[in-house]
Amino acid sequence: MLALAMLSLYACEEQKEQAVIVEEEKIDIINDEFPESKAEVIAFMEDIKQAIIAGDIDRLISFHAYGPKFTEFKNGEPRNDGTANEEYERGVFGNVTGVEKFEYDDLKVAIYDQVANVTFHSDFHLKFGEDDAVVNEQITLLLAQTDMGWKIIHEHHSPLNSPAAE
Which comes out higher in pLDDT, residue 24 or 83?
83
Tell me the pTM: 0.83
CATH number of 34-159, picked from 3.40.718.10, 3.40.640.10, 3.10.450.50, 3.40.50.12780? 3.10.450.50
Domain ranges of the chain: 34-159
Q: How many residues does the chain have?
A: 166
How would residue 10 be classed by pLDDT, with cut points 50, 70 and 90? Answer: low
How would residue 18 be classed by pLDDT, with cut points 50, 70 and 90? Answer: low
| Among 133, 51, 39, 132, residue whose Cα is nearest residue 90 | 51
Rounded mean pLDDT of 28-41? 97
How would residue 94 be classed by pLDDT, with cut points 50, 70 and 90? Answer: very high
In this structure, which long-range contacts are made by residues 29-32, counting pairs with CB atoms below 8 Å and at least 24 apart in sequence? 29/112, 29/113, 30/112, 32/111, 32/113
pLDDT at 23: 78
Question: Is the confidence at residue 139, as pLDDT, over 80?
Answer: yes
